[in-house]
Amino acid sequence: MSEPGSLRDLAYATLRQRIVEVALKPGERLVERDLAAELNVSRIPLREALRMLAAEGLVVIVPGKGALVSPFTPADVRDLFDVREVLESLAARLAAARASAESVERLEKRLEECRAATADADVTRIAAANAAFHAEIIDLADNPLLTSLMSPLAARTEWLFRLTSSRDPAEQCSEHEELFALIAAGDADGAAASAYAHIAAGRAPSTALASTWSEPTVDPEAVAKRRRRRT
């Protein structure tokens, strides 16, 4: 996530963080002029930042109406897992097939961080370490298209982990151990299956928690129509 200092990227990074941390709630209206004023940028870079977020799926832009934070329904969670299962599985397969001594070493460093964080029982650190482990596998897959497809999913996944709580860290960590071993051994089919199972294992807890929010099914069209009046 480089930030070449441009105001657009600054606005993008700021908004993305606020959405992921739920400082901006799903369904919340994003008014260009207000945000531009708050972030001390003009509307042009802000608009471009919104488009980037929309391309990533974190924001919905209703043409001619405005932008709002994407709603995140139980169905969205289901869809997210459907896609993550196959893409993470593909990444693991490719990573295993293209594994080299140097790449295995890099992945192992991530795994060690997972172990350490899990031992510490530091939830923030665990989440970061797990995310880094998965990101490393994507990177090892050496498929730029896959990488670009995964980044929106990563954003939503991070979001999901903030909204819900993660499942048992020790269990996750041991699954990472298994996945690492298969990738290191160059076992493409095994790594793919292991990754699939690893993602699938997170589905039930997440959907269960997701069903408890059950936002009143925010309708983008409807929300976009509302306007504020002078305070």
Task: Tell me which residue of 95, 163, 92, 154 sits closest to 128, measured CA to CA.
Answer: 154
Exposure of 85 in the CB half-sphere (CA atoms within 13 A): 13
The only residue of 3, 21, 25, 43 in contact with DNA, by rule CB under 7 A: 43
> Which residue, 187, 202, 116, 198, is CA-closest to 156?
202
User: Does residue number 7 form part of the binding site for DNA (CB under 7 A)?
Assistant: yes
Strand order in 59-62's β-sheet?
29-30, 66-69, 59-62
Single out the residue of 25, 106, 109, 226 in contact with DNA (rule: CB under 7 A): 226
41 contact, one of its own copies, DNA, none, CB 5-8 Å limit per kind? DNA
Sign of the dihedral defined by the CA atoms of residues 16, 22, 23, 26, in that order:
positive
Q: Under the criterion CB under 8 A, does residue 219 sit at the interface with its own copies?
A: no
Distance CA 86, CA 218 (A): 28
In the complex, minimum distance from the CB of residue 38 to DNA, in angstroms, rounded to a whole number: 12
Pick between residue 47 and residue 162 the one whose CB is nearest to DNA: 47
Listed residue (105, 154, 108) closest to 131, CA to CA:
154
> Residue 152 or residue 186: which is nearer to its own copies going by CB?
152
State yes or no: residue 6 binds its own copies (CB under 8 A). Answer: yes
Q: Which of residues 79-108 bind its own copies (CB under 8 A)?
A: 79-80, 82-83, 86-87, 89-90, 94
The option from its own copies, DNA, none interacting with 34 (CB < 5 to 8 A, set by class) reads DNA
207 to 22, 38, 114, 164, 200: CA distances (angstroms): 18, 35, 24, 9, 11
Q: How far is the CB of 27 from its own copies (least distance, A)?
A: 16
**Candidate segments 53-61, 172-180, 183-191, 204-212, binder of its own copies by CB under 8 A:** 53-61
95's tokens:
């990573």
Closest distance between its own copies and the C-beta of residue 211, in Å? 18
Q: Which residues bind DNA (CB under 7 A)?
A: 6-8, 30-34, 40-45, 47, 63-67, 225-230
